[in-house]
Amino acid sequence: MKYQSAIRKQLLIALLSFFTFQVIAQRKLTLSKGVEDISISPGGDQIAASIFGKIWLIPLEGGSAKQLTFGFGWDSFPAWSEDGLFLAYSHQSPQGSSLLVYNTQTGNIRDVYSAQTHFIGQIQFHSGKKKIFFLGDAGQYTSHLWSVPIQGGTATQHTFGKSRHEWSFALSKSGDEVLLPQGKYGVSDLYMKSIEKDSVVRLTRTELIDERDVAWNQTNDTYVFVERENGVDHISIREANGSSKRISSSPYSKKKISIHPNGKFAVLLDQRQLFRLDLTTGKRSPISFKVEFNLPERAKPELVVRNVNVFDAVGETLQKDMMVEIRGGRISAILKDSDVDFKGLKVIDGQGKTLIPGLMDNHFHFWHYMTFWGNSFILPKGVTSIRDVGAEISQSMNLKEAMAHGILDGPTIYTTGPLIDGEQGYHPMVDVPMTDPNAVEPLVKSLKAQGADALKAYFMLDSAMMKPLADAARKHNLPLTGHIGVKIGWRAAAEAGINGFSHIRIWRDMLPLEDQPNGNDESLESGVYPVQRMQADWSKIDMSDPKIASLLDFLAENNVAMDPTVGIQQVGNNVKENTDFEQYYDAKLSFEKAKQFVKMAYDRGVLILAGTDSGNLHSEMQHYSDAGIPNHAVIKSATINGAKWLGRENEFGTIEVGKRADLVLIDGNPLENMKDIEKVSLVIKEGRIVFKLD
């Protein structure tokens, strides 16, 4: 209870800091990128944009932006009313997702609708219908069109379909029709839906193309939309007569289009920057801007932690009665504890507790901004770094930079960007389906340029694509992990040059083909087959089979790591309620075999990266300890090992002079009892205290 109370207090302090920042010391932060969503004003002279979680107004020709929204939360998807008097936007906070309307004349903000079951995405006014339309995102697979009266009230759902999604839409001038792409998994087609008649007409029929953002040019009744194919985004125009032409092509990124009222050009969002796009020639020119945040001044990253027992994650034992000096956010000295005068530095008395490096969750997903708020207590758990192994690249970079700049409090993010998947893909929110080996290297080059720290292959990627992907990753100095085991086995992927594996999916290496889920018939969909999705049939795998030892030896010899995410394979009531006796007990056995596999991997020298896919890193570490891995090695799996895999071991992951000062004070000794890892009393990130248990 004391720990939970401290977390609640920490959140309250964060809330107060946002609401009172104008009366405390401030610092200015000037940025020139980071745009997430856009909307041109009805007058055509301004662009409403979401930039690092706040709504800004940018002159059409560029220049200094004006901030419209403030306070705690993340604001996105701005949309103008037809008369330009109001600006709607989506607001995310720990309380959920809300549709707010800003009055541009009075500055007042009104809450029109609060979502209970979904995240509010793209928004569009229709004053004639006296409604605001929006997309309700209910998860990785499902997103549908809704509307709510402008004055507020009950929302109406207009599109449906299990595991079907629309990520964008555009209303006709009359408001009677809506243009939107709908699909399942990683492909989609354009449809024209009559809202009044509740009917639909299909406009495109594709097999491998994902139709993304759409816009309706009201001046000449044409549609502008983004098509994604093999990691390339094509901007296309569909004429009123049904013919289509592509006017622009560029590598994958989050793209948004907002058409100017004159219909001749649009504002294009590409790689978090703005461009003016000629709708006839496809020529683009940059729109330069700058935003200036006023943020609370941060404490100096300089202090001393004394009277502690240090586990530095270099050796295997504690160094007792130590003190650690921090200057400039880096560890500047590690000394035997004494009464040295540190010349004005703040001194923290560790009271004989254990000091370890900041923890790293090597398998995490910020699927969208609501995921951040749902995991806002990650720092108090001692997690100061995460490896985000699958996210839309622009969103991931915005969160990464927001935390780096101190706009948000959170861990240091190392991102893989999107899931590089096979035909049709499996996670439409964040994947890029790839089937052409020649298209792989340009995609990898683009992801590197956009800020990716690593890459991730996904399980529908064909075996013929793995080597080109691994070669491109190596060329651009990006380590490559993979959630695979369906289209290609672990040994084959390791031979092709992959650097790591996520989860434990060794079906392809160990089971006959007839016992393997192939992903083409929903056999990997957890809502349909929960045991197969998370466990496969480990019950059929003989742990004494020499092929397991041979595989693990091969991984160790070739420096191929794994983040096994054992915790998500632990069976719970959801499995019990959706399976029969045999499946349930097979799943329980599979969990035990998964832990045994991880211990075997450790014993044979495979680098283990502690990762969760759920956020519960303490539990994951306990599973490793229960499996028989020594506790010092368990802590290393959640500290230095992730840094090593990234090639950043000189930057963080251990308590050594010169390293980033990410530190966790534990009220106990996790080297003796791993359950003590939960007793976090102090967290320091880059030399600043970010959590303290009073």
Tell me the per-residue pLDDT of 311-354, one tens digit each, with 9 for 90 and over: 999 999 999 999 999 999 999 999 999 878 888 899 999 999 99
Closest CA to 656 of 276, 325, 251, 369: 325
Give 327's contacts (C-beta < 8 A, 6+ positions apart). 301, 302, 345, 687
Task: Using the Cα atoms of residue 62, residue 63, residue 66 and residue 70 in order, give the sign of their dihedral.
Answer: positive
| Selection from 84, 85, 50 nearest residue 69 by Cα | 50
Reported as a pLDDT band with limits 50, 70 and 90, residue 531 is: low
- Mean pLDDT value across residues 552-572: 93
Residues 73-76: contacts with CB under 8 Å, at least 24 apart: 74/369, 74/372, 74/373, 75/50, 75/100, 76/36, 76/37, 76/50, 76/369
Judged against a pLDDT cut of 80, whether residue 7 lies above it is answered with no
**pLDDT recorded at residue 19:** 38
Distance CA 109, CA 675 (A): 47
Alpha-carbon gap, residue 58 to 63, rounded angstroms: 7
Over range 525-543, report the average pLDDT.
68
pLDDT band, residue 520 (cuts 50/70/90): low
Beta bridge partner(s), residue 335:
323
Half-sphere exposure of 5 (CA within 13 A, CB side): 4
Residue 364 has pLDDT above 60, yes or no: yes
Classify the C-alpha dihedral 448-451-457-461 as positive or negative.
negative
**Residues in contact with 298: Cβ distance below 8 Å, sequence separation at least 6, in sequence order:** 27, 406, 688
pLDDT recorded at residue 432 = 92
Check whether 9 has a pLDDT greater than 50.
Answer: no
Contact call for residues 596 and 544 (beta carbons, < 8 A): no
Q: Tell me the percentage of the chain whose pLDDT exceeds 90.
A: 69
pLDDT score, position 475? 98
The phi, psi pair for 639, rounded to 5°, reads: -135, -90
Q: What is the pLDDT of residue 589?
A: 84
- Contact between residue 606 and residue 555 where contact means Cβ atoms under 8 Å apart: yes
pLDDT exceeds 60 at position 15: no
Per residue in 62-77, pLDDT tens?
999 999 999 888 999 9
pLDDT reading at 22 higher than 60: no
**What is the tens place of the pLDDT at every residue in 247-273?**
999 999 999 999 999 999 999 999 999
Residues 6+ apart with CB under 8 A from 197: none
Q: How far apart are CA 161 and CA 133, in angstroms?
A: 18
Q: Are 136 and 119 in contact (CB under 8 A)?
A: yes
**Is the predicted pLDDT of residue 20 greater than 70, yes or no?**
no
Q: Which residue has the tokens 């009393």?
A: 681
Question: Is a pLDDT exceeding 80 seen at residue 122?
Answer: yes
Q: Which residue has the higher pLDDT, 436 or 568?
A: 436
Mean pLDDT of 487-515: 89
Under the banding of pLDDT at 50, 70 and 90, the label for residue 24 is low
Highest mean pLDDT: which range of 15-19, 57-61, 531-535: 57-61
Which is more confident, 189 or 644?
644
Q: What is the DSSP string of 322-348?
A: EEEEEETTEEEEEEE------TT-EEE
Q: Write down the pLDDT at residue 528.
A: 62
**14 has pLDDT over 50:** no
Which of 63-77, 369-383, 658-672 comes out lowest in average pLDDT?
A: 369-383
Is 60 exceeded by the pLDDT of residue 17? no
Within 13 A of 40's CA, how many CA atoms are on the CB side?
26
Residue-level pLDDT at 404: 93
Rg (CA), the chain: 26
Least confident of 300-304, 375-379, 381-385, 668-672: 375-379
- Say if residue 445's pLDDT is above 50: yes
Contact 398, 408 (CB under 8 A): no
Percent of the chain that is helix, strand, coil (3-state, to 5): 25, 35, 40
Please give the single-letter amino acid code of residue 249: S
386: left (phi over 0), alpha (psi -120 to 50) or beta: beta
Inform me whether the pLDDT recorded for 373 exceeds 60.
no
Q: How far is CA 187 from the centre of its chain?
A: 21
> Is residue 546's pLDDT more than 60?
yes
Quick check: 434 and 446 in contact, CB under 8 A? no
Summarize pLDDT for 193-236 with one digit per residue, the tens. Answer: 998 888 999 988 877 678 789 999 988 788 999 999 999 999 99
| Cα dihedral across residues 364, 369, 374, 376: positive or negative | positive
DSSP annotation string for 81-118: -TTSSEEEEEEEETTEEEEEEEETTT--EEEEEEESSS
Q: What's the distance, Cα to Cα, between the start and end of the chain in Å? A: 12
Q: Going by DSSP bridges, is the β-strand pair 96-103/210-217 parallel, antiparallel, or unpaired?
A: unpaired
Ranked by mean pLDDT, which of 395-399, 554-558, 577-581 comes out on top?
Answer: 554-558
At 533, the pLDDT band (50, 70, 90 cuts) reads: low
Give the Cα separation of 60 and 128 in Å (integer).
27
Q: Per residue in 57-85, is it b (16+ CB within 10 Å) or e — as a string? A: bbebebeebeebbeebbbbbbbbbbeeee
> If you average pLDDT over every residue of the chain, what do you get?
89
For residue 265, the model assigns a pLDDT of: 96
What pLDDT score does 13 carry? 43
> For 456, phi and psi rounded to 5 degrees?
-135, 125
Top mean-pLDDT range of 82-96, 208-222, 638-652: 638-652
CA distance 478 to 492: 20
Pairing of strands 419-421, 431-433: parallel
Query: Which sign does the torsion angle of CA 417, 419, 424, 429 carry?
Result: negative
Average pLDDT over residues 530-553: 80
Mean pLDDT (whole number) for 598-612: 98
Q: Encode pLDDT of 173-188 as tens digits.
A: 888 899 999 888 777 8
- Which among 639, 631, 628 is positioned nearest to 664, based on CA atoms? 639
**pLDDT confidence of residue 369:** 65
pLDDT recorded at residue 25: 74
Angle in degrees, CA 629, 381, 481, rounded to 5? 55
497 pLDDT more than 60:
yes
Burial class of residue 305 (count of CB atoms within 10 Å of its CB; 0-12, 13-18, 19+): buried
Here the tokens at position 221 are: 């009744």
Ramachandran sector of residue 605 (left: φ over 0; alpha: ψ -120 to 50; beta: rest) = left
Judge whether residue 538 has pLDDT over 90.
no
- With beta carbons less than 8 A apart as the criterion, state whether 458 and 483 touch: yes
The whole-number pLDDT of residue 534 equals 56
Instruction: Identify the CA nearest to 209 among candidates 16, 8, 371, 428.
Output: 428
Three-state DSSP class for residue 272: coil
pLDDT in tens, 572-592: 777 777 777 777 887 888 889
Name which residue leads in pLDDT, 535 or 592: 592
Q: State how far the Cα of 421 lies from the Cα of 434, in Å rounded to an integer.
A: 6
Mean pLDDT, range 151-163, rounded to an integer: 90
